[in-house]
Amino acid sequence: MLNIILFGPPGAGKGTQSAKLIEKYSLVHLSTGDILRAEVAAQTELGKAAKILMDKGILVSDDIVIGMIDAKISKHMGGKGFIFDGFPRTLPQAESLDKLLTTHSTSITMTLALEVDEKELFHRISLRGKSSGRADDQDEATFHKRMNVYNNETSPLKNYYSKQGKLKQVKGIGEVDDIFKALCIEIDKGN
Ligand code: AMP
């Protein structure tokens, strides 16, 4: 299987590039943010509790997101592989993902980290906020909160994957198609 983590801060282009990658490589897209927003839209108990945290840019508990991913992985095993987008975001999530994949006799193939500077991220999130309807995209203080969470809890995972020899860093600034090509080169090299 081809199991890719598309890694990066808010606004790095994970959603945009995931959509292109799943088409080219016939992968299943697993975005914990999208799954949580579907729960919010359906007004489930989980969605109602998650919304309060999401609107503030705070992470939802590891147990909840790991449970969601576990269910989705089991449902889609047997396919060509997965793109994980916005997951894992903490060390316990990364460790649980490795364990889950091992129980299915597979593993992470590589982690592709999109590198974008904070000024550009803020610009992109501000633009997205005008059309996404996402409360967390519309407030500067929430953007900074999300960046703090990313820098403190998520960014250290680069070290986790680097130690496993699985981290590939890709420049995430420029034309969408050029970034896509750069990602494909890394995938084709390592696959
Ligand atoms: P995203 O769409 O990936 O930017 O996620 C939006 C929000 O959903 C985040 O700010 C968190 O509140 C929540 N969320 C998404 N993925 C995760 C995750 N893997 N762990 C914890 N919270 C998450």
All structural domains of the chain with their residue ranges:
2-190
Query: Atom 6, ligand 1: which residue's CA is nearest?
Result: 33
**CB neighbours (10 Å) of residue 174?**
9
The pick from 37, 48, 59, 125 for probing ligand 1's pocket by mutation, whose C-beta has the most ligand atoms within 8 angstroms, reads: 59
- Per-residue pLDDT tens over the stretch 109-158: 999 999 999 999 999 999 999 888 888 888 899 999 999 999 999 999 99
- Per-residue pLDDT tens over the stretch 5-48: 999 999 999 999 999 999 999 999 999 999 999 999 999 999 99
Percent of the chain topping pLDDT 90: 93
Mean pLDDT across the stretch 52-56? 95
- Helix 45-56 to helix 140-149 angle (10° resolution) is 100
Q: Which residues pair with 30 in a beta bridge?
A: 84
Strand-pair category, 167-171 with 28-31: unpaired
pLDDT of residue 78: 87
pLDDT of residue 20: 98
Ligand 1 atom nearest the C-alpha of 89 is 19
Query: Atom 14, ligand 1: which residue's CA is nearest?
Result: 33
Q: Return the SS3 of 5.
A: strand
CA of 36 to the centre of ligand 1 (A): 8
CA of 15 to the centre of ligand 1 (A): 12
Assigned token pair, 90:
């903490």
pLDDT of residue 190: 80
CA of 51 to the centre of ligand 1 (A): 10
Would the CA dihedral through 6, 9, 15, 20 be positive or negative? negative
Q: What are 117-121's contacts with CB under 8 Å, separation 24+?
A: 117/173, 118/9, 118/147, 120/11, 120/173, 121/9, 121/10, 121/11, 121/12, 121/147
Mean pLDDT across the stretch 64-76? 94
φ, ψ dihedrals at 188, nearest 5°: -70, -30
Query: What pTM was estimated for this model as a whole?
Result: 0.96
pLDDT of residue 132: 85
Is residue 154 within a helix (H) or strand (E), and if so which, with residue range?
A: none
State yes or no: pLDDT of 191 exceeds 70: no
Ligand 1 atom nearest the C-alpha of 14 is 3
Beta carbons of 90 and 59 less than 8 angstroms apart: yes
State yes or no: pLDDT of 59 exceeds 70: yes
Percent of the chain topping pLDDT 70: 99
Q: Which fold has domain 2-190?
A: Rossmann fold (3.40.50)
